[in-house]
Amino acid sequence: MKTMLLICLLFSFPVAAADQLEIIKIGHPTLRAEAREVPLASFEDPKFQKLIDDMILTMDRARGVGLAAPQVNQSIRLFVMKSGARVPLTIVVNPRVEYVNEAGQSWSTEGCLSIPGSSLRVKRYRKIRMSYFDRSGQFVTGEFSGFGAIIAQHEYDHLNGVLITDLVEQLRAVMNTSGYTDAPLM
């Protein structure tokens, strides 16, 4: 009984609760800036770790599958992504992306949490190689294909000030009651 109580106290006391952040919308200059690299010293900064937790909560609450730091008005090279069982929660810092030409491209219909009301059909590479740092500062290299590759490309574009409206080939507007589209939101 005493052990249980101790465990509860340990888990409840030091953890700062995550906060939902405001998602900025198209027209805001931060969405158009080239985000800067996260310095290695930041990984140990509790504020940086809390920002990651806040972004995960904000993505979940907005029912998104990805969220980049510039979308919460932080112009740094950080994004989070997650989509059910298909794409596990991945925290990506300072990514380098290599598009795998041989695998070709395919059409992707995407919504953007920073562009209410529109879903856009854009071309994405089927496969990418991405190296990045995880939230603990560990260097990771991975190949992404399918939906994971699509989300990563969308979020990586955000770090470079690129929005799907820049890539659009065809505009569709299938809005749902939240004012967003029925396409996956990123």
- Tell me the catalytic residues: 155
In angstroms, what is the minimal distance from the CB of 84 to Zn ion?
19
Taking the least distance from each CB to Zn ion, the nearer of 18 and 167 is 167
Taking the least distance from each CB to Zn ion, the nearer of 59 and 93 is 59
Find all residues with CB under 8 Å of 64, minimum gap 6, and list them.
Answer: 113, 184, 185, 186
In angstroms, what is the minimal distance from the CB of 54 to Zn ion?
17
Q: Write the CA distances from 12 to 6, 44, 60, 173, integer angstroms.
A: 10, 21, 22, 44
Q: Write the CA distances from 135 to 40, 116, 156, 173, 181, integer angstroms.
A: 11, 29, 17, 36, 30
In angstroms, what is the minimal distance from the CB of 154 to Zn ion?
6
By beta-carbon distance, which residue lies closest to Zn ion? Answer: 112
In angstroms, what is the minimal distance from the CB of 43 to Zn ion?
25
In angstroms, what is the minimal distance from the CB of 157 to Zn ion?
8
The rounded distance, in Å, linking the Cα atoms of 16 and 18 is: 6
Looking at beta carbons, which pairs linking 146-149 to residues 24 or more positions away fall under 8 Å?
146/86, 147/65, 147/83, 147/86, 147/87, 147/184, 148/81, 148/83, 148/86, 148/87, 148/90, 149/124, 149/125
Tell me, rounded to whole angstroms, the distance of Cα 135 from its chain centroid. Answer: 13
Residues that bind Zn ion (CB under 5 A): 112, 186
Taking the least distance from each CB to Zn ion, the nearer of 183 and 186 is 186
Give the H/E segment covering residue 96.
strand 87-99
Taking the least distance from each CB to Zn ion, the nearer of 69 and 112 is 112
Taking the least distance from each CB to Zn ion, the nearer of 78 and 186 is 186
